[in-house]
Amino acid sequence: MRIVMLGAPGSGKGTQAQRIQKDHGLVQISTGDLLRRAVADKTPLGEKAKKAMDLGNLVSDDIVLGMIKERIAQPDAERGFILDGFPRNLSQANSLDALLAELTLTLDRVVLMDVDFDVLMKRLTGRRTCSTTGAVLNVYFSPPAELEACRKAGGELLQRKDDNEVTIRNRLQVYERDTAPLVDHYTQKGLLATVPATAEVDVVYARLKSALGLT
């Protein structure tokens, strides 16, 4: 299966894509994660992307498309993948269509993770990543046992640089302006399924699997 996950910052794309990857073997391809790794490794691409990311703006299409092309070509993507955070605008969506056509592949489903707007700020300001396990947690919503498990594993709870209120506000505006139009784009193609995603993680996961026809 080849899936695109759409949704505002904080709508749970990464959380749910990780679970699908673990349970169903589809590879999560997150452009945000790929870009953050390039920034951390101080690669030339990372140096170019850093400024836009720190401000919560989109990185240029050519950088992101190059990364996606390279990642989709890797052997583990042959079984299928979930694109998390890509495409982010109409131009990227058209480039994705062209790339898949070139590879004689098609998209099976596009899911929109639909979350009440006022929940997003709390989810994003509360997000932490465990430095040892890589688990994505939340100081407001994760069960205390999960937060404690990170500390017991010798990990620290790290906060993303762009998870501050000013940058989050810009990311949400960029989503509304550039990414939300993709909902119509994929509806017209008959590919869109909307997943109500304000509920608890397990409930959302069950809804997502049902939207994807996974058991």
In whole angstroms, the minimum distance from the beta carbon of 135 to ligand AP5 comes to 9
Is position 2 annotated as part of the catalytic site? no
Smaller CB distance to ligand AP5: residue 15 or 112?
15
**The amino acid at 25:** G
What distance in Å separates the CA atoms of residue 122 and residue 204, rounded to the nearest whole number? Answer: 18
What distance in Å separates the CA atoms of residue 171 and residue 53, rounded to the nearest whole number? Answer: 9
Smaller CB distance to ligand AP5: residue 80 or 126?
126
Is position 127 annotated as part of the catalytic site? yes
Catalytic residue (choose from 13, 71, 123, 207): 13
Residue 69, CB-side half-sphere exposure with 13 Å CA sphere: 13
Catalytic residue (choose from 36, 127, 128, 207): 127
Smaller CB distance to ligand AP5: residue 72 or 162?
162
Smaller CB distance to ligand AP5: residue 71 or 123?
123
- Which residues are near ligand AP5 by CB under 6 A? 7, 9-15, 31-32, 35, 52-53, 56-59, 64, 85-86, 88, 92, 123-124, 126-127, 136-138, 141, 162, 171, 200-201, 204
DSSP 76: G
* CA of residue 122 relative to chain centroid, distance: 17
| CB burial string 38-57: b at 16+ within 10 A, e below | bbeeeeebbebbbeebeebe
Q: Which residues are catalytic?
A: 13, 88, 127, 160, 171
